[in-house]
């Protein structure tokens, strides 16, 4: 039953070509997720780096995390859709999803960057200053490299969250891989449902593993325990 | 203004007054799903934490598997469970419970590990058995860390329950979903605000519960 339905869905030519194909949906899912993370990084990293450098902002970071956790990501998506439609955006356009995803990716990146920069030992920074490095050089040459694993951990959390929530984009009339799941539910098509779910799950796991690998790769040599 | 006549009001208080019964029903559904999932999660994670504390080698695989479950997006996990358990509350509870495990286990293990060695030695010296030491000394002293985990897990679960509306299970997500389909903003705003409010109520009750459960920590720090 479930298996037959899966085979039927996989044998359907529309699954592999056209606007509703797996490739097209995967492409939509990926570009919106990556764009959201890049936009969030551009928006919050400069502020977070600066706050970390002057050793302030940990209270803001904690507040951001606590508030962010209480607001459901589905809720952020729905509110973002509501606001953009009120402002005149077309239904089915990706903008509401993109805005919601930027809002979701930003908090973990902000918090981890502030925490990462602040976790650099004061003695290390003193040594760098004592060697005559300017504040910019301290930030670029010492604090950022040492904070990199934690910063990337923030990016990883943000990216995985974004990929998960982009799936819900199908509930606000957008595409992405969630389209298969939402349509699968609506049409009681178990094949479409399961294939969509497996694709989304795999994408999230691949993103998670890739980012963890990257996080390990950027740790400066000699730093064994970045925390 | 012509625009004001054409666009529906952003928030319709009359709707709230007319649908009070429904709001109560959806609240009950949301609370039940949250409480059941977190409660099962707490029992399972306590068992898994005990295993991880007793056999250290088990800790890495346990966090790896629960971490993997945590990574799978909720909508996908609900969907994957459909061929196995169907479209029902069991589906939602399995998925929601599995999301609580990583947070709960990490905090429990870290909390018990954080109990000072001197306390453990004192307990041993007083003739406590391993079991008595665990329940009477280590668990109470680890409570702040354990409760912190339960708070995060519960608040996260309240948010995730909104997604269970796609399974037809009600909860506040029902309002959000119907609001999206009918472009009726009031329902979306009601659904999201009540979800945030419920998460806050749960979070605050745990803060109070912790104060009550750890009388020795009151007035300290």
CA distance B216 to chain A (A): 26
**Given the structure tokens 């005149």, which residue do they identify?**
A88
CA distance B197 to chain A (A): 8
Mean pLDDT score, B155-163: 96
- Residue-wise pLDDT for A74-129, tens only, equals 999 999 999 999 888 888 889 999 999 999 999 999 999 999 999 999 999 999 99
- Residue-wise pLDDT for A38-59, tens only, equals 999 999 999 999 999 998 888 8
Query: Which pLDDT score, from 0 to 100, does residue A130 have?
Result: 93
Q: Is the pLDDT of residue B6 over 60?
A: no
Contact flag A82-B82 (C-beta cutoff 8 Å): no
Cα B100 to Cα A146, A162, B103: the distances in Å are: 31, 19, 6
A 10 A CB-CB count for B113 gives 11
Percentage of chain A lying above the pLDDT 90 cut: 69
Query: Which pLDDT score, from 0 to 100, does residue B195 have?
Result: 96
Which residue of A74, A85, A209 to mutate against B (max B Cβ within 10 Å)? A74
Select the residue of A168, A193, A200 nearest B82 (Cβ to Cβ): A193
- Chain B: residues touching A (Cβ < 8 Å): 7, 10, 68, 71-77, 79-80, 82-83, 87, 152, 155-156, 158-160, 162-163, 166-167, 173, 176-177, 179-180, 183, 185, 188-189, 191-192, 195-196, 199-200, 203
Does the CB of A73 have a partner CB in chain B at under 8 Å?
Answer: yes
The sign of the torsion formed by the CA atoms of B217, B218, B219, B221 equals positive
Contact flag B79-A193 (C-beta cutoff 8 Å): yes
Contact flag B196-A70 (C-beta cutoff 8 Å): yes
Select the residue of A81, A201, A205 nearest B80 (Cβ to Cβ): A201
Contact flag B192-A182 (C-beta cutoff 8 Å): no
Contact flag A200-B75 (C-beta cutoff 8 Å): yes
Q: Any idea where the domains of chain B sit in the sequence? A: 15-216
Question: Could you tell me which chain B residue has the CA closest to the CA of A83?
Answer: B185
- Residue-wise pLDDT for B84-127, tens only, equals 998 899 999 999 999 999 999 999 999 999 999 999 999 999 99
Contact flag B74-A164 (C-beta cutoff 8 Å): yes
Contact flag B191-A2 (C-beta cutoff 8 Å): no
Select the residue of B73, B80, B189 nearest A163 (Cβ to Cβ): B73
Task: Write out chain B residues lying below 8 Å of A204, CB-based.
Answer: 71-73, 76
Distance CA B143, CA B147 (A): 6
Select the residue of B7, B72, B177 nearest A204 (Cβ to Cβ): B72
Cα A52 to Cα A46, A102, A129, B32, B203: the distances in Å are: 10, 21, 16, 41, 28
Select the residue of A2, A71, A168 nearest B163 (Cβ to Cβ): A168
Contact flag B196-A71 (C-beta cutoff 8 Å): yes
Asked if A152 and B62 count as a contact pair (C-beta separation under 8 A), the reply is: no
CA distance B131 to chain A (A): 33
Contact flag A194-B83 (C-beta cutoff 8 Å): yes
CA distance A142 to chain B (A): 30
How is residue A11 written in tokens?
Answer: 């044998």
Does the CB of A106 have a partner CB in chain B at under 8 Å?
Answer: no
Give how far the C-alpha of residue B99 lies from the chain's centroid of Cα atoms, to the nearest Å. Answer: 8
Asked if B73 and B95 count as a contact pair (C-beta separation under 8 A), the reply is: no
Q: Is the pLDDT of residue B206 over 90?
A: yes
Question: Could you tell me which chain B residue has the CA closest to the CA of A157?
Answer: B71
Q: Is the pLDDT of residue B3 over 60?
A: no
Distance CA B32, CA A67 (A): 23
**Given the structure tokens 């995967």, which residue do they identify?**
A26
Distance CA B118, CA B56 (A): 21
Query: Which pLDDT score, from 0 to 100, does residue B5 have?
Result: 47
How is residue B50 written in tokens?
Answer: 């005990």
**Closest by alpha carbon to B207, among B148, B146, B142, B141?**
B148
Contact flag A201-B77 (C-beta cutoff 8 Å): yes
N- to C-terminal Cα separation, chain A: 50
Distance CA B91, CA B77 (A): 9
Cα B48 to Cα B120, B136, B137: the distances in Å are: 21, 19, 19
CA distance A13 to chain B (A): 23
Q: Is the pLDDT of residue B141 over 90?
A: yes
Mean pLDDT score, A174-180: 94
* Predicted ipTM of the assembly: 0.88
Query: Which pLDDT score, from 0 to 100, does residue A220 have?
Result: 77
Mean pLDDT score, B3-23: 79
User: What superfamily in CATH does domain B15-216 come from?
Assistant: MetI-like (1.10.3720.10)
CB-based burial label for A137 (10 Å; 0-12, 13-18, 19+): middle
Select the residue of B71, B152, B189 nearest A208 (Cβ to Cβ): B71
Q: How many CB pairs under 8 A join A and B?
A: 118
């Amino acid at each position: 039953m479930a298996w037959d339905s899966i085979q039927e869905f996989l044998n359907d030519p529309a699954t592999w070509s056209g606007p509703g194909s797996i490739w097209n949906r995967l492409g939509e899912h990926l570009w919106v997720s990556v764009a959201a993370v890049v936009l969030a990084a551009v928006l919050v990293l400069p502020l977070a780096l600066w706050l970390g450098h002057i050793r302030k902002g940990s209270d803001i970071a904690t507040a951001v995390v606590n508030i962010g956790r209480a607001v459901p990501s589905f809720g952020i998506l729905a509110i973002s859709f509501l606001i953009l439609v009120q402002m005149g955006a077309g239904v089915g356009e990706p903008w509401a999803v993109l805005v919601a995803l930027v809002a979701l990716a930003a908090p973990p990146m902000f918090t981890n960057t502030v925490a990462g920069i602040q976790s650099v030992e004061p003695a290390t920074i003193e040594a760098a200053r004592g060697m005559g490095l300017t504040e910019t050089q301290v930030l670029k040459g010492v604090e950022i490299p040492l904070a990199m694993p934690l910063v990337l951990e923030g990016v990883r959390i943000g990216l995985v969250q974004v990929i998960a929530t982009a799936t819900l984009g199908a509930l606000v009339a957008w595409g992405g891989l969630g389209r298969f799941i939402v349509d699968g539910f609506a049409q009681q098509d178990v094949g479409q449902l399961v294939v969509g779910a497996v694709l989304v799950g795999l994408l999230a796991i691949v993103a998670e593993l890739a980012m963890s690998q990257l996080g390990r790769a950027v740790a400066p040599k000699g730093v064994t325990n970045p925390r | 203004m012509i625009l004001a006549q054409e666009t529906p009001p952003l928030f319709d208080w009359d709707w709230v007054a007319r649908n009070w019964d429904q709001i109560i029903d959806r609240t009950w559904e949301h609370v039940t799903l949250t409480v059941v999932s977190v409660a099962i999660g707490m029992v399972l994670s306590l068992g898994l934490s005990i295993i991880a504390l007793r056999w250290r080698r088990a800790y890495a695989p346990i966090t790896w598997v629960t971490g993997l479950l945590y990574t799978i997006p909720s909508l996908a996990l609900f969907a994957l469970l459909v061929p196995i358990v169907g479209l029902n509350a069991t589906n939602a509870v399995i998925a929601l419970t599995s999301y609580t495990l990583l947070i709960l286990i990490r905090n429990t293990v870290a909390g018990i590990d954080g109990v000072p060695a001197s306390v453990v030695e004192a307990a041993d010296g007083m003739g406590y058995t391993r079991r008595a030491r665990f329940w009477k000394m280590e668990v109470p002293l680890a409570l702040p860390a354990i409760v912190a985990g339960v708070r995060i897990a519960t608040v996260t679960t309240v948010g995730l329950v909104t997604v269970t509306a796609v399974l037809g299970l009600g909860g506040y997500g029902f309002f959000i979903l119907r609001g999206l389909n009918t472009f009726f903003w009031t329902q979306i705003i009601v659904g999201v605000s009540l979800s945030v409010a419920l998460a806050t109520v749960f979070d605050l009750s745990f803060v109070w519960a912790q104060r009550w459960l750890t009388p020795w920590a009151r007035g300290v720090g």
